[in-house]
Amino acid sequence: MTDFADRFWTSRDGLKLHYRDYAGRGDRPPVLCLPGLTRNARDFEDVAVRLAGEWRVICVDLRGRGESAYAKDSASYNPLQYADDLRQLFVQEGIARAVFFGTSLGGLITMITALTAPQAVAGVLLNDVGPELNPIGIDRIRTYVGQGRSYPTWMHAARALEESQGEAYPDYAVTDWLAMAKRCMAVGSNGRIHFDYDMKIAEPLAEPAPEPSVDMWPAIAALAGVPSLLLRGAKSDVLSAATHEKMGAMLPLSEAVTVPGVGHAPMLDEPEAVAAIDRLLARVA
């Protein structure tokens, strides 16, 4: 297990936010790992351990997740606020540019950063996310986020994950589900195992989407000069094959890769993802 330091920064509205800091070379931009909606820094443990030493890897807990503080106002659980939180981290750490690894929600935050602070983006991995999201996948996510379920044992937690996400990871064994449970859950003060996030992150999702919704294609266009990896799970119900292909066609410095046998979202430890990440970082370096 590669060592990391638990570090913290402060958001503009005063929240104490957490990140894991894996040491690496100082002559390269750090790799900044941004998790999906209900996930946290632990999701990137495998990729961080693999890259650490050659690359500094920063894995964040967004506000309301993991070891980061929960927000008083649930309306602040939105991608624009998360992007602003990251700007404060960059200021604290003196980071001018980073390679953004964004899974799902993390990819939306990456796209916002490409639009608002393009100079900060040295390279990009968009993991199973794009400027258009399939409503089927978003509706599926809405069915489980913020439900507040808890479990008596890790095995119960793993079985519950398998029941809700088995279609996305059909080849997972029970050991894989246990590992996932320990990444996205924690033991509460009552001894039961619960998801490791503020249930109020679901509240903004319950609001009806404004019409028309924001056009995010300009954010993709903003990445035209940046080495990019566009990953899609072959069984994804969030990122369509057509959107994935269109993104690749728009970005001359991109590689579009489909990870076989998984849905939303690849965990970045699949052989195809590992090889593609290495090719991306070789281009950045």
Q: What is the pTM of this model?
A: 0.97
Percent of the chain whose predicted confidence (pLDDT) is above 90 = 93
What integer is the mean pLDDT of 83-94?
Answer: 98
Q: Are 219 and 115 in contact (CB under 8 A)?
A: yes
Parallel, antiparallel, or unpaired for β 121-127 and 228-233?
parallel
Q: Over the stretch 198-244, which tens digit does the pLDDT of each residue have?
A: 999 999 988 665 555 789 999 999 999 999 999 999 999 999 999 99
Q: Pull the structure tokens for residue 179.
A: 């590992």
Q: Are 114 and 31 in contact (CB under 8 A)?
A: no
How far apart (Å, rounded) are the C-alpha atoms in residues 119 and 99?
Answer: 11
Tell me, what's the pLDDT at 208?
62
pLDDT of residue 209: 55
Where along the chain do its domains lie? Answer: 5-136+212-284
Fold of 5-136+212-284: Rossmann fold (3.40.50)
The answer to whether the beta carbons of residues 33 and 3 sit under 8 Å apart is no
Band of pLDDT at residue 2, cut at 50, 70 and 90: low
pLDDT cut 70: percent of the chain above it = 97
Does the pLDDT value for residue 123 go beyond 60?
Answer: yes
